[in-house]
């Protein structure tokens, strides 16, 4: 792995990709925008083009880079081609997939190749997948006895075009963890109630697991894992009239506010961690750039396919994101929700 190479952002012309390029530049990191069409890519950085179905072009686009961050969904279609090209180019790989099947494919199919190349592959390192994995990794003490709940509230979910396209493409049955193993989520989806801090308060929730089931289960091997989303958010993204996110500050973030709570019950002990912030697409940028920056350091010696919470010092990673990007709260003896 070339530690001094640039960070290549594939899908840099998309909504999340632009946040990622912006965050890399803010930190003074060398970054290259890569995509299918040069005209759609940010003009303030070097641009390279490669189609997703052109393996040779992808490898050329990543040549000389240290890490490739894939922001181009649906990841069911892009993750493996981009990751394989990154590995062939000697680069680490990160993506922001919320798609369970995509993350699982990266873990199952890329581990051996990444180890042979001496690089790390970290799928699902964004808001979905990565953030819950980091929080759960701080809480779980006895994985064999841990029952984990992830609950997410958004005051609005203004979906991007990519989110809508992914929703149409991703028809793979969702998975949960029960009795320490992945199973297909029973239908109909379970409904419940959860109390968040202001401004969200009491929310009606629906079970809707994302890639955090795959990332957490990759290395924590918990006994059970449920993921809940506020029902109002699911209704918004299913409504074709819901608008796309609009910039509301100088960073281009929308006004959306989120809270993610991870609760771990081990016997009579309940621990809880909460992360609050603004704009789930924008906050994925500091998550993946923090990972990329650490992967470029000479002290990083991890190889193979791994989850975000498995790859790094979790406490240090979260500390680097707070309070600028995340407001964090940890409760060691919590009342179960």
Side-chain half-sphere of 238: how many Cα atoms within 13 Å? 5
Residue-wise pLDDT for 121-156, tens only, equals 999 999 999 999 999 999 999 888 999 999 999 999
Closest-CA residue to 283 (of 132, 177, 139): 132
Q: Are 136 and 148 spatial neighbours (Cβ–Cβ below 8 Å)?
A: yes
Q: What is the DSSP code (8-state) at residue 48?
A: E
In this structure, the chain runs to a length of 337
Residue-wise pLDDT for 42-89, tens only, equals 999 999 999 999 999 999 999 999 999 999 999 999 999 999 999 999
Q: What is the DSSP code (8-state) at residue 129?
A: B
pLDDT computed for residue 2 by the predictor: 82
Q: Are strands 146-154 and 224-230 parallel, antiparallel or unpaired?
A: parallel
- Bridge partners of 259? 153, 276
> Averaged over 148-171, what is the pLDDT?
94
User: Rounded CA gap, 189 and 88, in Å?
Assistant: 41
Distance linking the first and last C-alpha atoms of the chain:
45
User: Rounded CA gap, 10 and 72, in Å?
Assistant: 6
User: Rounded CA gap, 283 and 16, in Å?
Assistant: 9
Residue-wise pLDDT for 250-276, tens only, equals 999 999 999 999 999 999 999 999 999
Gyration radius of the chain over CA positions: 19
């Amino acid at each position: 792995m070339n530690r001094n190479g640039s960070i290549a952002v594939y899908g840099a012309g998309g909504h999340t990709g632009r946040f990622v390029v912006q965050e890399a530049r803010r930190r003074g990191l060398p970054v290259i925008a890569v995509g299918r069409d040069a005209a759609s890519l940010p003009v303030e950085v070097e641009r390279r083009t490669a189609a997703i179905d052109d393996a040779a072009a992808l490898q050329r686009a990543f040549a000389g880079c240290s890490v490739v961050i894939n922001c181009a969904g649906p990841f069911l279609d892009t993750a493996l081609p981009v990751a394989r090209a990154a590995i062939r180019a000697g680069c680490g790989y990160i993506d922001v997939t919320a798609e369970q099947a995509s993350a699982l494919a990266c873990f199952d199919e890329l581990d051996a190749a990444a180890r042979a190349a001496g690089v790390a592959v970290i799928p699902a390192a964004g808001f979905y997948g990565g953030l819950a994995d980091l929080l759960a990794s701080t809480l779980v003490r006895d994985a064999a006895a841990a029952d984990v709940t992830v609950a997410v509230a958004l005051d609005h979910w203004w979906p991007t075009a990519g989110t809508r396209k992914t929703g149409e493409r991703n028809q793979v049955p969702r998975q949960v963890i029960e009795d320490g193993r992945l199973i297909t989520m029973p239908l109909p989806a379970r409904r419940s109630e959860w109390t968040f801090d202001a401004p969200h308060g009491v929310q009606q929730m629906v079970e809707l697991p994302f890639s955090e089931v795959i990332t957490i289960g990759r290395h924590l091997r918990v006994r059970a894992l449920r993921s809940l989303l506020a029902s109002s958010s699911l209704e918004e993204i299913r409504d074709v009239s819901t608008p796309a996110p609009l910039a509301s500050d100088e960073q281009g973030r929308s006004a959306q506010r989120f809270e993610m709570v991870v609760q771990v019950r081990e016997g009579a002990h309940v621990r809880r961690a909460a992360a609050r912030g603004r704009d789930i697409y924008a906050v994925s940028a500091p998550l993946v750039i923090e990972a990329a920056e650490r992967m470029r350091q000479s002290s990083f010696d991890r190889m193979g396919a791994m989850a975000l919470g498995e790859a790094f010092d979790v406490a240090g990673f979260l500390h680097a994101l707070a309070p600028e990007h995340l407001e964090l709260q940890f409760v060691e003896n919590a009342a179960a929700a």
